[in-house]
Structure 1
Amino acid sequence: MVLRWLVAASAAVVAVLMVLFAYVIVAVRVPAPFVLLTHVVSDYGLYLIPLGLVGFALSLIAFGRKGRPGVRWVASASGLVCLLGVVAAGFPLAAAWGTAVRQEASLSLGEYLSGDTNTAAPVESPGTVYNTVDGQDLKLDVKLPEGAPVRPRPAVVWVHGGGWRNGDRGEAPQWHKWLIDKGYAVFAIDYRMVPPARWRQSPADVKCAVGWVKQQAATYGVDPDRVLLAGGSAGGNLALMGAYADDRVPPSCAVADTSVNAVAAFYPVPDLAEAWRDTGLPERMRTFLADYTGGTPDQVPDRYRAASPATYVRPNLPPTLLMHGDRDHVAPYRGSAELAERLRRVGVENRLLTVPYGEHIYDFTWTGWGTQISRQVFDRFLADHFPAP
């Protein structure tokens, strides 16, 4: 009888977990305390189905034929909850499948189960200095495809995220490798980070890096007239700033040309003031924003506008790819949706990939449904607007 109670208790524990995950799945706006669960749903949601089935199997074992009424009641309630949880866990799967169909992308179960990640330890390479400013050497890593190029390669300048205060150029190594395998030269850059407030300096460093790559094009066998900016989170904000900002944001070094042919941003922050108001993690995001700008939107509104890519939307901007999870608690999804609409209104070619149930940094799980779809959408964007030889 003790064993049956233990089995029933185990089924009940699984049932409680399934209730929590089901709440996260069906809730319109998930409170901050449940963010960890939204990451699980975003990156590993498929595993909730076998978890619920295990809970249901445990409840059947505990129910038995001769179990005590209390045990049988716990077992039956747990079994029902686990089955309902399995149904709820099917929603993200169905949403991913529907998005894949609409985007003409394929999903691989085998790849999903492999569990590969898109993270790396802090970079240890000495790097190449592209600018020295304020007594600080700003570095980048040059990552080139194997073999001598038949003709100059297109270049991708990759900007790391981290809330403008953390991270380094080693971030997102799988994206770097993916681009290199397709024939792109990748220049993964560092930039000045807070403290102090860097709302002016960080985008200036990104522009400097683009100009440096163009100046050094012959050295690395790249085409100076074919440069794309890319990055995620704060790096997405800075990639868009590097592509959009006009002469009000000059480069931090003496370079002549900082223009790019296209820009790709993962879960960016297009409008800093809107992110302050709409973020699902206000304590965390507002700290990032205040440190980056030196104040709140009420205290330094001009800085929030100057550091927002949305401020610079106008005709003839580079083609833009935006990829954003609709459950992002850090950088609000609405920011990308509104930016895409603004770009459309002024005739700028753009594409917005909405990743269903996607949390912030969803692509750090390299084999997840959202990342699988993103790779194929990104590949199509590159083929249309920035093809490699």
Structure 2
Amino acid sequence: MIRRATAFAAAIFAILLPLSAAAEADLNREYEVHLTRNLVYGRALIQVSQERPRTRDLLVDVYRPVADGKLLANRPAVIMAFGGAFHRGNKGEERYTEDGAQDSSMADYCRRFARDGYVCFAIDYRLTPEDPAVAKPVDEKRLVSKALNLSPTATARIEVVRQRMGLPPLDDRTREQYWHAILAAAEDMAMATDYVRGNAGKYGVDADRIALGGFSSGAITALNTAYGIGVPVKAVFALSGGLSGYNLFETVRPNMPPALLFVAQNDLDGIQSGTRFAIKALTAKGIAVETAWVPGFGHFYPMGAVSLGPEVSRLPVETRILAFLDAHIGDKKVDPTPGN
């Protein structure tokens, strides 16, 4: 309602001051959205434990803002990764429901961002049941201890998800697949980022204004891609992510991008502790970190849920993300943590 009122006011002022006010109105409009599904952004290896490993296409859905029937150019971009414990999920409309709450899909988030003028890329990535390969060996010093990542405490939620999927409990082979999936997901997101940057003109993207984001395992993947692998982007936001796979205490360097980290009041213990470790790892190297709580929810919450953040700010999750993006890669010069 506030946004629409602002747009209406800007339109009225445009009549009186057609130059500057018209520009202000354009900044506050909601755009139409053009969607292109299932574009191939890369290929990667799966079924590596079998006699004949194979590669499969990695796919992306592209949401672009449209004004007056025309696709916009030179726009900031957001690359999103879905959640699902590195075992399930998809880049489209899938939503999870638990304890009476339902989260928002990647399609929900991308439509919202595109309506605000961002080009949004919802990516597919390889999952544990596919038995993915890790293309590039990683120095163990740059990784969280495998024993810690694969301990019963760390994999308790994974076992719940596997049971819901009808899969057997983790054994030595599937634990290794899960470990590889964490690292492969970051490789895939890095590949997607290179694809977006390399095709910036085609998709109307400003290659110097790219942010990464995701939910749960997708949030972990965004953090691993930006701060573990070190893919150069301008901002990162994580919805109930944390520290897993890459050891951010070893990989984070000064001048890496700012982060916005969400966690729910009743979130999973591993997500809460992992988020605390991620905050410590980032702030220790001087990285700007904004945090926000989502009160009253467990691990799953919709993008319209209220979040509580710095300076007693009270904003819907989606609005806080957009304020963060606007401040770091957008066209609008705004306070990244406005109050209610």
Q: Scaled by the length of structure 1, what TM-score is found?
A: 0.53
**Partner SS, residue 161 of structure 1:** coil
Corresponding letter in the other structure for 1:261: K
Match of 1:377 among 294, 299, 320: 320
CA distance 1:359–1:264, shift in 2 (3 Å): same
Aligned to 1:132: 43
Question: Which among 162, 168, 174 is matched to residue 108 of structure 2?
Answer: 174
**Residues of 2 paired with 1:188 and 1:175: CA distance?**
9
Match of 1:10 in 2: none
Secondary structure, counterpart of 1:260 in structure 2: coil
Residue type of the partner of 1:191? Y
Quickly say closer, same or farther: Cα 1:132–1:336, change in 2 above 3 A.
same
Alpha-carbon distance in 1 for matches of 2:251, 2:298: 27
| Distance change in 2, residues 1:143/1:376 (3 Å) | closer
Query: Which stretch shifts more, 135-144 or 196-205?
Result: 196-205
Counterpart in the other structure of 2:300: 361
Any idea what the Cα deviations from partners look like across 1:87-134, whole Å, max 9, x if unmatched?
A: xxxxxxxxxxxxxxxxxxxxxxxxxxxxxxxxxxxxxx8510011222
Q: 1:133 to 1:223 in 2, by over 3 A?
A: same
- The 8 Å contact of residues 125 and 185 in structure 2, kept in 1 or not, is answered as yes
Q: Which amino acid aligns with 2:190?
A: K
1:330 deviation in Å?
Answer: 5.9
- Structure 2 residue aligned with 1:352: 291
Q: Distance in 2 between matches of 1:383 and 1:326?
A: 26
Following superposition, the deviation at residue 316 of structure 1 comes to 1.3
Measured at CA, do residues 150 and 367 of structure 1 come closer, stay the same or move farther in structure 2, by a change above 3 Å?
closer
Aligned residue in 2 for 1:260: 233
Q: 1:380 is aligned with what amino acid?
A: A
Does structure 1 residue 387 correspond to structure 2 residue 330?
A: yes
- 1:160 equivalent in structure 2: 82
- Aligned pairs for 1:72-91 within 5 A: none
Distance 1:308 1:238 in 2: 13
1:215-266 superposed Cα distances (whole Å, 9 cap, x missing partner): 011111111111100101000000111111237xxxxxxxxxx421110100
Corresponding residue number in structure 2 for 1:215: 198
- Give the distance between the partners of 2:274 and 2:323, measured in 1 at CA: 23
Amino acid at match of 1:163: A
Displacement of 1:205 after TM fit?
A: 0.7
Distance in 1 (alpha carbons) for counterparts of 2:220 and 2:273: 14
Which structure has the highest strand share of the two?
Answer: 2
Matching residue of 2:188 = 205
Distance 1:369 1:199, change over 3 A: closer
Matches within 5 A, 1:33-44: none
Q: Which runs of 5+ in 2 are unaligned?
A: 1-35, 46-54, 93-104, 132-176, 309-314, 333-340
Instruction: State how far apart, in whole Å, the 2-side matches of 1:308 and 1:269 are.
Output: 11
In structure 1, what residue type is equivalent to 2:218? G
User: 1:361 Cα shift?
Assistant: 1.9
Identity level (%): 30
3-state SS of paired residue (1:207) = helix
Contact 2:119 2:205 (8 Å CA) reproduced: yes
Deviation larger for 164-173 or 210-219: 164-173
- Could you tell me how far apart the structure 2 residues matched to 1:383 and 1:126 are? 26
Provide the rounded CA distance (Å) in 1 between the counterparts of 2:238 and 2:66.
Answer: 26
One-letter amino acid of the structure 2 residue matched with residue 213 of structure 1: V
Please tell me whether the aligned partners of residues 82 and 214 of structure 2 are also in contact (alpha carbons under 8 angstroms). yes
* Residue 318 of structure 1, aligned match among 254, 257, 261: 257
Contact 2:39 2:59 in 1 (8 A): yes
**Secondary structure at 1:137's aligned position in 2?**
strand
Q: Is contact 1:323–1:353 with CA below 8 Å preserved after alignment?
A: yes
Contact 1:269 1:308 in 2 (8 A): no
> 1:166 aligns to what SS in structure 2?
coil
Partner of 2:274: 335
**Code of the aligned partner of 1:199:** I
Deviation at 1:374, TM superposition (A): 1.7
Count matched residues.
Answer: 220
Which 10-residue stretch deviates more, 130-139 or 229-238?
130-139
| Greater C-alpha Rg | 1
Structure 2 distance, partners of 1:265, 1:342, is: 15
Distance 1:233 1:346 in 2: 24
Greater RCO, 1 or 2 (C-alpha within 8 Å, sep 6+):
1
Contact 1:337-1:352 within 8 A present in 2 as well = no
**What's the secondary structure of 1:348's corresponding residue?**
coil
Structure 2 CA distance, aligned partners of 1:361 and 1:179? 20
Amino acid at match of 2:60: L
Which consecutive aligned stretches of 4+ in structure 1 deviate over 6 angstroms post-superposition?
Answer: none
How far residue 359 of structure 1 moved from its aligned partner, in angstroms, is 1.0
**TM-score (normalizing by structure 2):** 0.60
